[in-house]
Amino acid sequence: MAKKRVLITGGAGFLGSHLCDRFLKEGHYVIAMDNLITGDLRNIEHLFKHPDFEFYHHDVSKFVHVPGELDYILHFASPASPIDYLKIPIQTLKVGSLGTHNLLGLARAKKARIIIASTSEVYGDPTVHPQTEEYYGNVNTVGPRGVYDEAKRFQEAITMAYHTFHGLETRIVRIFNTYGPRMRLNDGRVLPAFIGQALRGEDLTIFGDGSQTRSFCYVDDLVEGIYRLLMSDYAQPVNIGNPSEITIKEFAEEIIKLTNTTQKVVYKDLPKDDPKQRQPDITKAKQILGWEPKVSRAEGLKITYEYFKSLPKEVLYLRDHKSFDGYNK
Ligand code: UDP
């Protein structure tokens, strides 16, 4: 394929940085954009010497200007953990709504194809299991997750409107729980929470009775699915995730084994509107993209644990988000 110019928003984040790596590996020119609220330059510092890589420090909720041509836009900017939604709810709403609108406008101006990162959260606390793309979801609009879930639902709606009304080439990926190196250690998500606790010698905190389920996908598998979806001609939403489902209690036991910690589990209150079960139905991804995950949880967790162990010790004790009120304007 001829060299393409690719814009990746959220490029310094967990998924965004892996996407930068992938598109550079495919021989493309990559512009990463990030406001660094939850992203981290350490995720892309290895790319700064790359001749086909540029970084723009910009908040996509404001007008986005990129000089020159663009072939692909990947909109992956957004806080993505329940703790972030509580701390920066208004930014979360703005990046999914205003940010998406700006990027759709940019895609139109540049005649670029755009893929937007949606989420299993559009299904809310699902009453259909596993979740197919046809399920409309069960979301509490005014609950703590509403700011993320509704921003992402709006994002899908406006993306589809640009597709049907303006004929824009759009793709929508519904991402299920994903893990791997470069996850933020202190973002509150269950995997970094458990591994961080094991490394600090603390007990592992299970929320609720631990009977709620999640299905965890290793990041390389996810990136492959996203790449294939972008290259396909399918404009309807597609679930990408690993259907291997596990309860949070069993997951804690796996982490205890993996890290060899002598710590125990302790039980805390279940956060409001915490989905009881989650598993992607990936029939569409299999049929349309010929995609399915390849990395087992055992393999993926080992790689991820090695990454967290290799971080400087101070990172284990860092707190996220300085209390800067500007984020919620
Ligand atoms: N969870 C937990 N202990 C923690 C952090 C999370 O038991 O220290 C639970 C959380 O209540 C949820 C699941 O693990 O049921 C996954 O949480 P996460 O924040 O990773 O993502 P979610 O899938 O809920 O968006």
**Domain range list for the chain:** 5-178+217-240
Give the mean pLDDT of the chain: 96
Distance CA 73, CA 30 (A): 10
pLDDT band at 314 (very low <50, low <70, confident <90, very high): confident
Cβ–ligand 1 distance for 273 under 6 Å, the answer: no
Query: Based on the number of CB atoms within 10 Å of its own CB, is 134 exposed (0-12), middle (13-18) or buried (19 or more)?
Result: exposed
Token code pair at residue 251:
């997951």
Distance CA 21, CA 25 (A): 6
Q: What is the pLDDT of residue 317?
A: 85
Mean pLDDT of 244-261: 98
Q: What is the pLDDT of residue 21?
A: 98
22 CB neighbour count, 10 Å cutoff? 18
Mean pLDDT of 305-323: 82
Give the single-character DSSP code of 144: T
Q: Which CATH architecture has domain 5-178+217-240?
A: 3-Layer(aba) Sandwich (3.40)
Residue 328 pLDDT exceeds 60 = yes
From 85, 148, 227, 327, the catalytic residue: 148
Distance CA 38, CA 79 (A): 6
Q: Is 148 an annotated catalytic residue?
A: yes
Q: What is the pLDDT of residue 322?
A: 47
Cβ–ligand 1 distance for 206 under 6 Å, the answer: yes
Residue (of 319, 20, 326) closest to 184 by Cα position? 319
pLDDT band at 318 (very low <50, low <70, confident <90, very high): confident
Give the single-character DSSP code of 10: T
In DSSP terms, 246 is beta-bridged to 214
Q: What is the pLDDT of residue 198?
A: 97
Mean pLDDT of 257-282: 97
Q: What is the pLDDT of residue 186?
A: 87
CB 115 within 8 A of CB 170: yes
173-187: pLDDT as tens digits: 999 999 999 999 988
Mean pLDDT of 208-212: 98
Residue (of 34, 78, 84) closest to 59 by Cα position? 34
Q: What backbone torsions phi and psi does residue 138 show, to the nearest 5 degrees?
A: -140, 80
Amino acid at 203: D
Residue (of 274, 270, 252, 246) closest to 202 by Cα position? 252
124-141: pLDDT as tens digits: 999 999 999 999 999 999
Cβ–ligand 1 distance for 105 under 6 Å, the answer: no
Q: What is the pLDDT of residue 323?
A: 47
Cβ–ligand 1 distance for 274 under 6 Å, the answer: yes
Query: Based on the number of CB atoms within 10 Å of its own CB, is 275 exposed (0-12), middle (13-18) or buried (19 or more)?
Result: middle
Query: Which atom of ligand 1 is nearest the CA belonging to 193?
Result: 8
Decide which of 327 and 194 is more confident.
194
pLDDT band at 327 (very low <50, low <70, confident <90, very high): low
